[in-house]
Amino acid sequence: MNMLSIIFIVAGLFFMIVAAIGVIRLPDVFSRSHAASLADSLGAFLMLVGIALHEGLGINMLKILVVLALLYILNPVIAHATIRAALRSGLKPWQKETS
């Protein structure tokens, strides 16, 4: 059980690091927010599942699952709000130079 939770947490960390690299490497707001949503949807999910397994059955596991459900509801809302604001303020998405 402990081993499994460590595996989950390390996998979550991996995706968080990938997301951080993505935020630095990608060219504009639109694509950067994709990287940020990667950190939420898979990074945070794997880490929270790992912590829930570590805690074992009980009230703390329930709390973590509530956090997870709220995260999955709120993440698209925030991402959409950011992107819509960027689009409405006249920002143009980055394109490949060749096109």
Q: How far is the CB of 50 from other proteins (least distance, A)?
A: 16
Three-state SS for 10-54 is HHHHHHHHHHHHHHHHCCCHHHHHHHHHHHHHHHHHHHHHHHHHH
Stretch that binds other proteins, among 4-12, 19-27, 47-55 (CB under 8 A): 19-27
10 binds other proteins (CB under 8 A): no
Which x/- pattern over 30-69 shows residues binding other proteins (rule: CB under 8 A)?
xx-xxx-xx--xx----------------x--xx--x---
Cα–Cα distance measured from residue 6 to residue 11, given in angstroms and rounded to the nearest whole number: 8
